[in-house]
Amino acid sequence: MILHERSVSGNCYKVRLLLSHLGLRYERRELTAASRQERSAVLGDLSPSLRVPTLVLDDGRALAESNAILWYLGEGTKYVPADRFARAQMLQWQFFEQYDHEPYIAVARHWLRYRGTPVDPAALAERQEKGYLALEAMERHLEKHRYFPREHYSLADISLYGYTHAAREGGFDLDRYPALLAWLERVKGEPGHVPLSA
Ligand SMILES: N[C@@H](CCC(=O)N[C@@H](CS)C(=O)NCC(=O)O)C(=O)O
């Protein structure tokens, strides 16, 4: 398998994290393209949005969207609950991650850490305000449960960990959330865990 990625991306890290948990071999291919046109040359037939992560299977089929890739790799493993309702709850948190969490936490991190152009303080404050709402929702859940969606580590934990663990780089104060901090440590202790920078 080939994983097209940007190594600093939390979305790409999610996929690498699951591949590591599963002990699967793959080749990493860093996306160096800058413009949309250049990305089209690399990913045009592979990813509808021309974004990474994009996984190309050994038979040539390609899959984009981090959470779709997690689902493909994770189905039938212990990272997907057997119970139908729990599976739907896992999906609930994965949709939450893409709609309520990543657009704020990942974007604030990108602006502050990687974009390299001046940040509009009002736009940043708006992203952070919404990002804090997502962190608060996670904290409320984690006050009652060890993982997402309940007591066992699942794909939803991987999805949420991708950017939550790096949220400080987006200017977020994680010390406000003791249950979330404990969860970050639990995730780090899962067998096969690798850091983003690995
Ligand atoms: N919803 C997508 C978002 C993917 C995404 O935003 N990827 C970014 C990197 S994190 C990307 O490819 N940006 C274009 C670029 O880096 O040139 C997913 O979950 O995979």
Is 90 exceeded by the pLDDT of residue 38?
A: yes
What was the pLDDT predicted at 62? Answer: 98
* Cβ atoms of 133 and 72 closer than 8 Å: no
What was the pLDDT predicted at 198? Answer: 83
| Residue among 4, 7, 9, 110 to mutate when testing ligand 1 (max atoms within 8 A of CB) | 9
Rounded-to-integer distance, Cα 28 and Cα 111, Å:
25
| Segment 99-124, tens digit of pLDDT | 999 999 999 999 999 998 999 999 99
Tokens of 182: 């404990």
Is 90 exceeded by the pLDDT of residue 155?
A: yes
Site residues for ligand 1, CB cut-off 6 Å:
6, 9, 11, 39, 51-53, 65-67, 98
Ligand 1 centroid–CA 53 distance in Å is 7
Closest approach atom of ligand 1 to CA 33: 17
Ligand 1 centroid–CA 52 distance in Å is 5
At residue 5 the predicted structure's pLDDT band, cuts being 50, 70 and 90, is very high
Quick one: which of 151, 146, 130, 133 has its CA closest to 179? 146
* Cβ atoms of 53 and 67 closer than 8 Å: no
| Segment 66-86, tens digit of pLDDT | 999 999 999 999 999 999 999
